[in-house]
């Protein structure tokens, strides 16, 4: 891409095409769909965090009024182990199937044990109470320390730790170990004038999407099935559901609804296989909708983590050595994001001597799911807290300390590869010059700085561009629109084709209409699917040039595309007026048929994203309550296709990160029952808790994308945890190392100081 590119529509801020439907209530979300004869489904969930299922009796439930079908784990096929592909990582089909419905053992409070379909939801719920399950309860394992204790109860009796130098000889709750390292750690610490060494802890938190999981499943008599559901990836739902049910992928059509938030939590399946099997048994469509309580007890969450960190610094602030031991809760099945965590923990900095050890640990909690930049917020909470403490102790400005160590283009990341063009230094310099940073703090206010990082990913995408007979444009793509991607795709198509934004309509299609497309996640949609839309638009341009050349009886290399029309090349002696897209659309039938551009690709060249956050916070010394007084999010977007939606991503990530830092956590009873499974007790930030989140977009173009795009959805949640904690620590005068910084925890720290 060219930095000097003169954009006409990219970078503008048109109204999102789905906006009116969403603000007027006309948009259809997961629970809004219905079919004639549809039944309502409900799930019986485990009342124990850890127990063997000795027997399940469903006869009484099946005989109850209105009940048409009951399923248990015994109705599902055994699923062989095998990695789930699609870019979410850390998953296995057998574990997925075991999480959808328990077989033999329940692994967390809320684990699905049986499901019922009845003519009404009340009848389905009444029938659940008639299912008799005999359990043999087992001790619940609820923390990393408890899970790793020598005598810990085993959650999976067959789990042998992978990643060890010598094969494990006995099962344990430690699913895998990852180690990275370079240089001479001892020598690095010996050179240090200052060593910061602490344990940092983050809690189990939920993605907190507003729309609960919901779907409608319909199994046909010909064994062809359909699913309507809210998901971040219809193709992923298709492959996962087909695998859990032992059906060919092609027998299942998935139609994505609008989605009321996902943040990674809607990249897997929970209800969908249950609804389809209930439909198969009953011969009727089945709708299933989770309550908020079920969402908390059985979906998500993001991993709790404990990170033991040690960093050494020279007197002038250079990092001489760094070491991290990182344990992440996987939940009841392997697959925490500790792998990305180990790569992110020191990613912003040049460090010659380091060791990192990551551990994926089973506990009796719901299986961890992706949550924006999975694994990174926990990791950089630790590192950026230590950087802040080092800056304070060395008497160096915290941004200057980071600038002295920041990675740049050409540096090798601690995880190996060299960085291309990146924007960390630009973000830090922008932060240093920002009015938020240069203005004096109010009395008692603490100011925190933190850096965020995420790799960003590419993966597979498809797109079609259809030119209608009046020259308007329809784009068909397969990524559910979470963050404004319809608008972004329309802008990129309009820019490429040289037509107005308003003439482009983007359709999010089902799995039988759109070409295969990986999940909406990983910060890949604007990058990868955007690239497919640009390629499909270029396919249209090539066809237009070919047809115009034929009409002008000249060769294709005698014409060119410019300003939304085909022109004779300068100097070519053709008597012709330029032919616009509209002109050629009108002649499509007479020049070869409809204009239809296609592209499918496995996108390469995703550019990493860096951010810097600034936070001012005031601690009430009497109550421990924290007020966020000011917050600024600065991030490299490569090129902001629609700046308002980039700003929205930065603001949304900041708010979620502030919630993670200040209040959000799963509170468990000793028996492993979540005690705050609702938004009244699980406290996410609301507007009255927050200042206006200021944003600044930095644009260091990504050479891997035709318009310079980097993903922007993940990085914004990474830095806020440490930015808030650093501000709170400064205001409180006490270093805070365990999240959340809720009033009781802050008050306890103040009392002990």
Partner 1 sequence: MAKVHVPFDLRHLAEGAAVLEVRGTCYRSLMAALRDRYPVLEAALVRDKAFVLDGEILDSPLLEAVAPASEIHFLPRIGGG
Residue 380 sits in the site that holds partner 1 (CB under 8 A): no
Residue 351 sits in the site that holds partner 1 (CB under 8 A): no
Rg from Cα positions in the chain: 27
Main-chain phi, psi angles of 486, to 5 degrees: -60, -45
Residue 346 sits in the site that holds partner 1 (CB under 8 A): no
**Interacting residues with partner 1 between 596 and 635 (CB under 8 A):** 602, 604-606
Residue 98 sits in the site that holds partner 1 (CB under 8 A): no
Residue 90 sits in the site that holds partner 1 (CB under 8 A): yes
DSSP conformational letter for 412? B
In the complex with partner 1, the residue whose CB is nearer, 326 or 432, is: 326
**Interacting residues with partner 1 between 23 and 82 (CB under 8 A):** none
Interface residue with partner 1 among 178, 195, 572, 673 (CB under 8 A) is 178
Per-position DSSP letters for 499-547, written without gaps between them: --GGGEEEEE--TTTSPP---S-TT-IIIIIHHHHHHHHHHHHHHHHHH
CA nearest 84: which of 479, 519, 462?
519
526 close to 593: Cβ distance less than 8 angstroms: no
Residue 714 sits in the site that holds partner 1 (CB under 8 A): yes
* Stretch of 105-113, 138-146, 175-183, 572-580 contacting partner 1, by CB under 8 A: 175-183
In the complex, the smallest distance separating the C-beta of residue 415 from partner 1, rounded to whole angstroms, is 6
Interface residue with partner 1 among 11, 18, 29, 85 (CB under 8 A) is 85
In the complex, the smallest distance separating the C-beta of residue 255 from partner 1, rounded to whole angstroms, is 23
125 close to 346: Cβ distance less than 8 angstroms: no
In the complex with partner 1, the residue whose CB is nearer, 265 or 448, is: 265
Torsion of CA 338, 343, 346, 350, to 10 degrees: 170
Contact track, partner 1, 257-276, x by CB under 8 A: -----xxxx-x---------
In the complex with partner 1, the residue whose CB is nearer, 23 or 165, is: 165
Cα 163 to Cα 357: distance, rounded to the nearest angstrom: 11
457 close to 711: Cβ distance less than 8 angstroms: yes
Cα 37 to Cα 29: distance, rounded to the nearest angstrom: 20
Interface residue with partner 1 among 23, 165, 170, 753 (CB under 8 A) is 165
List the Cα angle 323/329/332 in 5-degree steps.
155
In the complex, the smallest distance separating the C-beta of residue 444 from partner 1, rounded to whole angstroms, is 35
Half-sphere exposure of 413 (CA within 13 A, CB side): 21
Residue 521 sits in the site that holds partner 1 (CB under 8 A): yes
In the complex, the smallest distance separating the C-beta of residue 702 from partner 1, rounded to whole angstroms, is 12
Count interface residues toward partner 1 (CB under 8 A).
57
SS (H, E, C) 368-389: CCCCCCCCHHHHHHHHHHHHHH
Residue 181 sits in the site that holds partner 1 (CB under 8 A): yes
**Interacting residues with partner 1 between 439 and 458 (CB under 8 A):** 454-458
Cα 205 to Cα 667: distance, rounded to the nearest angstrom: 10
Residue 524 sits in the site that holds partner 1 (CB under 8 A): yes
Per-position DSSP letters for 623-652, written without gaps between them: T--EEEEEEEEEEE-SS-SSHHHHHHHHHH
In the complex with partner 1, the residue whose CB is nearer, 83 or 692, is: 83
375 close to 341: Cβ distance less than 8 angstroms: yes
216 close to 34: Cβ distance less than 8 angstroms: yes
Residue 703 sits in the site that holds partner 1 (CB under 8 A): no
Interface residue with partner 1 among 58, 241, 342, 632 (CB under 8 A) is 342
Interface residue with partner 1 among 420, 444, 498, 691 (CB under 8 A) is 420
Residue 92 sits in the site that holds partner 1 (CB under 8 A): no
Contact track, partner 1, 207-246, x by CB under 8 A: x---------------------------------------
Cα 221 to Cα 202: distance, rounded to the nearest angstrom: 49
In the complex, the smallest distance separating the C-beta of residue 480 from partner 1, rounded to whole angstroms, is 14
Cα 154 to Cα 141: distance, rounded to the nearest angstrom: 8
Interface residue with partner 1 among 16, 238, 280, 372 (CB under 8 A) is 372
Residue 325 sits in the site that holds partner 1 (CB under 8 A): no
Which residues are registered as beta bridge partners of 596?
Answer: 466
Q: Kindly list the strands in the beta sheet with 595-603, ordered across the sheet, starting from the edge strand earlier in the chain.
A: 504-508, 473-477, 459-467, 595-603
Give the residues lining the site for partner 1 (CB under 8 A): 83, 85, 87-90, 162-163, 165, 177-182, 207, 262-265, 267, 337, 339-340, 342-343, 358, 370-374, 415-420, 454-460, 519, 521-524, 602, 604-606, 704, 713-714
């Amino acid at each position: 891409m060219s930095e000097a590119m003169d954009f006409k529509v990219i970078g503008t801020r048109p109204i999102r095409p789905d906006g009116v439907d969403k603000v007027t209530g006309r948009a259809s979300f997961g629970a809004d769909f219905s079919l004639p004869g549809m039944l309502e489904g409900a799930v019986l969930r485990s009342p124990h965090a850890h127990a063997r299922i000795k027997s399940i009796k469903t006869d009484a439930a099946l005989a109850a009024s209105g009940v048409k079908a009951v399923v248990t784990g015994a109705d599902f096929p055994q699923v062989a182990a095998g990695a789930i592909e699609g870019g979410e990582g850390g998953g296995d089909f057998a574990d997925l199937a075991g999480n959808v419905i328990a077989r033999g053992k329940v692994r967390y409070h809320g684990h699905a044990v049986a499901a019922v379909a009845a003519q009404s939801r009340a009848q389905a719920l009444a029938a659940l109470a008639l299912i008799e399950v005999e359990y043999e309860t087992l001790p619940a394992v609820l923390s990393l320390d408890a899970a790793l204790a020598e005598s810990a109860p085993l959650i999976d009796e067959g789990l042998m730790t992978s990643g060890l130098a010598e094969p494990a000889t006995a099962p344990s709750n430690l699913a895998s170990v990852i180690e990275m390292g370079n240089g001479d750690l001892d020598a690095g610490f010996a050179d240090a004038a200052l060593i910061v060494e602490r344990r940092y802890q983050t809690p189990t938190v939920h993605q907190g999407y507003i729309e609960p999981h919901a779907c409608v499943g319909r199994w046909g008599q010909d064994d062809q099935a359909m699913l309507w559901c809210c998901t971040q990836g219809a193709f992923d739902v298709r492959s996962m559901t087909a695998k859990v049910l032992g059906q060919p992928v092609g027998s299942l059509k998935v139609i994505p609804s609008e989605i009321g938030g996902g943040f990674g939590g809607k990249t897997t399946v929970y209800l969908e296989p249950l609804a389809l099997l209930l439909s198969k048994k009953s011969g009727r469509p089945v709708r299933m909708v989770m309550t908020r309580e079920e969402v908390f007890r059985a979906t998500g969450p993001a991993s709790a983590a404990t990170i033991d960190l040690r960093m050494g610094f020279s007197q002038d602030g250079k990092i001489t050595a760094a070491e991290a031991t990182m344990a992440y809760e996987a939940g009841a099945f392997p697959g925490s994001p500790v792998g990305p965590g180990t790569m992110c923990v020191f990613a912003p900095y040049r460090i010659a001597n380091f060791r990192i050890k990551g551990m994926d640990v089973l506990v009796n909690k719901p299986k961890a799911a992706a949550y924006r930049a999975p694994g990174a917020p926990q990791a950089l909470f630790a590192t950026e807290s230590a950087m802040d403490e080092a800056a304070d102790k060395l008497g160096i400005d915290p941004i200057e300390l980071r600038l002295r160590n920041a990675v740049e283009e050409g540096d090798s990341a601690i995880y190996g590869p060299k960085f291309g063009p990146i924007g960390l230094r630009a973000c830090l310099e922008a932060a240093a010059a920002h009015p938020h940073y240069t203005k004096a703090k109010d009395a008692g206010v603490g100011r925190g700085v933190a850096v965020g990082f995420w790799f960003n990913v590419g993966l597979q995408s498809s797109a079609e561009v259809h030119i209608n007979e009046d020259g308007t444009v329809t784009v068909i793509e397969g990524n559910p629109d979470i963050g404004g991607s319809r608008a972004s795709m329309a802008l990129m198509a309009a820019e490429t084709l040289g037509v107005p934004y308003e003439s482009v309509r983007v359709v999010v299609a089902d799995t039988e209409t759109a070409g295969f497309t990986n999940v909406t996640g990983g910060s890949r949609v604007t990058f990868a699917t955007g690239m497919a839309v640009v390629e499909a638009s270029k396919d249209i341009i090539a066809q237009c040039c070919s047809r115009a050349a034929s009409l002008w009886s000249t060769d294709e290399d005698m014409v060119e595309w410019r300003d939304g029309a085909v022109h004779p090349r300068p100097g070519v002696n053709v008597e012709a007026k330029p032919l616009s897209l509209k002109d050629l659309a009108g002649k499509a039938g007479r020049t070869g048929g409809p204009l239809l551009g296609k592209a499918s690709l496995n996108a390469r060249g995703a550019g990493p994203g860096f951010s810097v956050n600034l936070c001012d916070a005031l601690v009430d010394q009497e109550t421990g309550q924290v007020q966020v007084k000011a917050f600024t999010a600065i991030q490299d977007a490569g090129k902001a296709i629609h700046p308002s939606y980039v700003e929205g991503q930065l603001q949304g990530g900041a708010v979620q990160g502030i919630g993670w830092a200040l209040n959000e956590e799963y509170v468990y009873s000793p028996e492993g029952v979540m005690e705050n499974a609702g938004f009244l007790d699980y406290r996410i930030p609301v507007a009255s808790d927050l200042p206006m989140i200021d944003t600044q977009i930095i644009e260091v173009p990504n050479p891997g994308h035709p318009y310079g795009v980097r993903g922007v959805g993940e990085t914004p949640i990474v830095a806020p945890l440490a930015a808030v904690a650093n501000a709170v620590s400064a205001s409180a005068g006490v270093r805070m190392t365990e999240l959340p910084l809720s009033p009781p925890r802050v008050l306890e720290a103040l009392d002990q100081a």
